[in-house]
Amino acid sequence: MSSTKTEVEQANAAYAASFDKGDLALPPARGFLILTCMDARLDPAKYAGLSEGDAHVVRNAGGRATDDAIRSLVISHKLLGTREWFVIHHTDCGMLFFDDATMGDLLAGSLETAELSESGFRNASEPGGSPEGRYVKWHTIRDQEAAVIEDVMRIRAHPLVNPAIPIYGYVYDVRTGQLNEVVRATEAGRPTG
Amino acid sequence: MSSTKTEVEQANAAYAASFDKGDLALPPARGFLILTCMDARLDPAKYAGLSEGDAHVVRNAGGRATDDAIRSLVISHKLLGTREWFVIHHTDCGMLFFDDATMGDLLAGSLETAELSESGFRNASEPGGSPEGRYVKWHTIRDQEAAVIEDVMRIRAHPLVNPAIPIYGYVYDVRTGQLNEVVRATEAGRPTG
Domains of chain A: 30-97+139-193 (3.40.1050.10), 99-137 (no CATH)
Complex ipTM value: 0.95
Asked if B38 and B92 count as a contact pair (C-beta separation under 8 A), the reply is no
pLDDT for A175: 98
Contacts of B57 (CB under 8 A, 6+ apart): A38, A40, A59, B33, B34, B36, B44, B45, B50
Q: pLDDT tens digits for B36-88?
A: 999 999 999 999 999 999 999 999 999 999 999 999 999 999 999 999 999 99
Which amino acid is residue A70, in one-letter code? Answer: I
- Selecting from B52, B106, B177 the residue whose C-beta is nearest the C-beta of A78 gives B106
pLDDT for B115: 93
pLDDT for B190: 52
Cα B87 from Cα B171, distance rounded (Å): 9
pLDDT for B177: 98
Q: Which of A10, A35, A60 to mutate to test the interface with B (most CBs of B within 10 A)?
A: A60
pLDDT for B73: 98
Which amino acid is residue A83, in one-letter code? Answer: R
- Confidence bin at B6 (pLDDT 50/70/90): very high
Asked if B188 and B163 count as a contact pair (C-beta separation under 8 A), the reply is yes
Which amino acid is residue B115, in one-letter code? Answer: E
Phi-psi region of B57 (alpha: psi -120 to 50; beta: other; left: phi over 0): beta
- Confidence bin at B188 (pLDDT 50/70/90): very low
- Selecting from A16, A43, A168 the residue whose C-beta is nearest the C-beta of B52 gives A43
- Confidence bin at B117 (pLDDT 50/70/90): confident
Q: Looking at the DSSP assignment, which residues form a beta bridge with residue A88?
A: A36, A170
Instruction: Tell me which residue of B14, B105, B39, B17 sits closest to A21, measured CA to CA.
Output: B39
- Confidence bin at B121 (pLDDT 50/70/90): very high
State the average pLDDT for chain B: 94
Per-run averaged pLDDT (10 residues), chain A, 193 residues = 93 98 97 98 98 98 98 98 98 97 97 90 87 98 97 98 97 98 63 49
Phi-psi region of B16 (alpha: psi -120 to 50; beta: other; left: phi over 0): alpha
Q: pLDDT tens digits for B144-181?
A: 999 999 999 999 999 999 999 999 999 999 999 999 99
Mean pLDDT throughout B4-22?
Answer: 98
Residue of A nearest to B55 (CA): A40
- pLDDT > 90: what percent of chain B? 88
Asked if A134 and A149 count as a contact pair (C-beta separation under 8 A), the reply is no
List CB contacts (< 8 A) between A4 and chain B: 30-32, 84
- Selecting from A53, A67, A162 the residue whose C-beta is nearest the C-beta of B111 gives A162
Which amino acid is residue A85, in one-letter code? Answer: W
Tell me how crowded residue B132 is: count the other CB atoms within 10 A of its CB: 14
- Confidence bin at B193 (pLDDT 50/70/90): very low
Length of chain B: 193
Instruction: Tell me which residue of A114, A111, A95 sits closest to B165, measured CA to CA.
Output: A111
